[in-house]
Amino acid sequence: MSKELFLMRHGQTEYNVSYRIQGWSNSPLTQEGILQAKAAHAYFQKNGITFDQILSSDLDRAYQTAQLATDYALPIHKQTFLREWGYGSLESKSRKKVTVSLNNPPKKDYFVAFGGEDGTHVQERITQGILSFLEKQADPSKVLMVSHGSVIYQFLTQYCQDIPPIGNCFIFHFIWEEGRLSLQTIIDPLKNS
């Protein structure tokens, strides 16, 4: 018996299209983002995947993605540990004006100078939140968590040698056995539904 985690990035947003830094700012899903979330729903249906728990970041883009991807099958529990990395005063600015990687800045505390979060804190928040939640779940169980690109990147650094692309609505399927997580597959619902 095992527990399964489906960790999913939110659908495309207006800020993704205009190449703006989102962080804790809310930017609505585009029509493409809505289609991506619905493709995730089709993937789950086609593969007979149902969830025992559904969680999302407390930011609107993740919550709406969770609603569309699950067709409102269960209550969705908003969790701040799934929230995007806070970038402080850089949020809403053009990504072209920021010369460092948002996922992997040169120093973990780079964004603190702008009123943002320390990278070490972000990695601890997402990792401890996910692992603590999974530990409390019945065995077997399937959990969907909808989050954001930069925090998923921080989480993946602990489970992957080479970090794969984290496209909108990509789903990272993990198995939890004997207190350990292992990445099984990466799903692009637009190609797999």
Active site residue 10: yes
Give 90-127 pLDDT, tens digit per residue.
999 999 888 888 888 988 899 999 999 999 999 999 99
Q: pTM of the full predicted structure?
A: 0.95
Angle at which helices 119-135 and 149-156 pack, to 10 degrees?
80
Which residues of the chain, if any, have pLDDT below 50?
none
- Could you please report the per-residue DSSP string of the chain? --EEEEEEEPPPBHHHHHTB--TTS---B-HHHHHHHHHHHHHHHHTT---SEEEEESSHHHHHHHHHHHTT-S-EEEEGGGSPPP-GGGTTSBGGG--S-SSS-SSTTGGGGGT---HHHHHHHHHHHHHHHHHTS-SSEEEEEEE-HHHHHHHHTTT-SSPPP--TT-EEEEEEETTEEEEEEEE-HHHH-
Angle at which helices 31-46 and 60-70 pack, to 10 degrees?
40
Supply the pLDDT for residue 113: 94
Candidate list 84, 91, 117, 148, residue with the active-site label: 84
The whole-angstrom separation of Cα 109 and Cα 136 is: 31
Candidate list 4, 10, 91, 117, residue with the active-site label: 10
The whole-angstrom separation of Cα 123 and Cα 141 is: 24
Q: From the annotation, which residues make up the binding site for substrate? A: 9-16, 61, 84-87
Q: Dihedrals φ, ψ of 77, to 5°?
A: -95, 120
Number of domains forming the structure of the chain: 1
Active site residue 41: no
Structural domain including 132 reads: 3-191
The whole-angstrom separation of Cα 128 and Cα 147 is: 15
The whole-angstrom separation of Cα 15 and Cα 38 is: 20
82-95 in b/e form (b: 16+ CB < 10 A) is bbbbbbeebbeeee
β-partners of residue 53 are 143
- Look up the CATH number of the domain holding residue 141: 3.40.50.1240
Q: From the annotation, which residues make up the binding site? A: 9-16, 61, 84-87
Q: Is residue 34 within 8 Å of residue 68, measured between CB atoms?
A: yes
